[in-house]
């Protein structure tokens, strides 16, 4: 057993883990502050993660693969952190967050659409941009703004930074042969926002998540981007979302 405290979305959280590798995984977020929340991991949590992973692979027509307990623990920790932070109005969201001049811009889409590729185009085409979180950021929903928060859970590419930035816009990414972007109404965006939000199974927590997702959509500018994988796609989304005329 190893115990340590990390600061995520501005909240110090005590982690009681089984594997020292989990502390190393969270090394960029370690802090000495007094925790306001705590997460405790047991072997049964890892066993549940293994069953869940196997079920998802079978659902996709793939054979189960061997995953170490240490890797499963990182998943279990994040799942419990997300559940604990709901009471602080923090939402776990599936997407990639780009940063530019102190503001955050989130791209989300169904898996395989090209979020990572589009973010790489931003990096190559737009000087000064970087990835705040490449896969599963936390979004802190406040009264009049949303904050995008870096976490150690950054996706396979390990794109991310330990920063918290105001979220300016969310863009729903779709594939198209011609690059184009349009503002999206809250009504039209809401189903996709719900689909990309982490949805707990407990009724009360799910209801709170749906409320947070609605607030997210009403507090943030929304767009739909039809794009190919050419460099121009990044410039099209950048100009619309950031209001820049040239790079």
| 220 φ, ψ (degrees, to nearest 5) | -125, 140
Sign of CA dihedral 43, 44, 48, 51: positive
- Give per-residue pLDDT as tens, 107-158: 998 877 788 889 999 999 999 999 999 999 999 999 999 999 999 999 888 8
Beta bridge pairs of residue 140: 90, 147
What is the side-by-side order of every strand in the sheet holding 11-17?
A: 2-8, 11-17, 37-40
Quick one: pLDDT at residue 116?
86
Domain with CATH 3.40.50 in the chain: 90-242
Long-range contacts of 135-138 (CB under 8 A, 24+ apart): 135/94, 135/95, 135/96, 135/159, 136/78, 136/92, 136/93, 136/94, 136/95, 137/93, 137/95, 137/97, 137/106, 138/8, 138/9, 138/82, 138/85, 138/90, 138/91, 138/92, 138/93
Alpha-helical runs (H) found in 60-202: 69-85, 115-125, 186-196
Find all residues with CB under 8 Å of 45, minimum gap 6, and list them: 73, 76, 80
- Around 12, how many Cα atoms within 13 Å sit in the side-chain half-sphere? 9
90-242 has which fold?
Rossmann fold (3.40.50)
CA dist 159 → 65, 109, 148, 168, 210 (Å): 25, 17, 14, 20, 28
Beta bridge pairs of residue 224: 172, 182
| 221 φ, ψ (degrees, to nearest 5) | -65, 140
Mean pLDDT of 75-80: 96
Residue 245 has pLDDT above 70, yes or no: no
The rounded distance, in Å, linking the Cα atoms of 43 and 51 is 13
Cα-to-chain-centroid distance, residue 90: 11
Helix (H, G, I), strand (E, B) or coil at 211: helix
Q: What is the CA radius of gyration of the chain?
A: 18
Decide which of 56 and 140 is more confident: 140
Q: Any idea which residue has 């054979």 for tokens?
A: 63
- Give per-residue pLDDT as tens, 178-236: 999 999 999 999 999 999 999 898 999 999 999 999 999 999 999 999 998 899 999 99
């Amino acid at each position: 057993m190893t115990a340590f405290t990390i600061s995520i979305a501005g909240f110090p959280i005590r982690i009681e883990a089984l594997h020292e590798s989990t502390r190393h995984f969270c090394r960029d977020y370690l802090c000495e502050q007094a925790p306001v929340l705590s997460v405790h991991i047991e072997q049964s949590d890892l066993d549940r993660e293994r069953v869940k992973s196997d079920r998802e692979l079978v659902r996709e027509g793939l054979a189960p693969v061997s995953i170490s307990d240490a890797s499963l623990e990182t998943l279990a920790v994040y799942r419990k952190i997300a559940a604990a932070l709901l009471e602080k109005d923090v939402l776990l969201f599936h997407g990639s967050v780009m940063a530019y001049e102190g503001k955050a811009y989130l791209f989300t889409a169904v898996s395989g659409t090209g979020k990572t590729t589009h973010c790489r185009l931003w990096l190559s085409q737009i000087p000064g941009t970087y990835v705040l979180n490449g896969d599963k950021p936390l979004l802190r929903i406040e009264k009049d703004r949303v904050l995008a928060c870096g976490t150690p859970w950054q996706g396979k590419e390990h794109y991310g930074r330990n920063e918290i930035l105001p979220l300016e816009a969310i863009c729903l990414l779709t594939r198209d042969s011609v690059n184009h972007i349009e503002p999206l109404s809250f009504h039209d965006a809401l189903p996709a926002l719900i689909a990309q939000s982490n949805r707990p199974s407990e009724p009360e927590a799910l209801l709170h998540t749906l409320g947070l997702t609605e607030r997210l959509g009403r507090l943030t500018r929304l767009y739909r981007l039809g794009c190919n994988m050419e460099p121009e796609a990044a410039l099209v989304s950048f100009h619309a979302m950031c209001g820049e005329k040239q790079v």
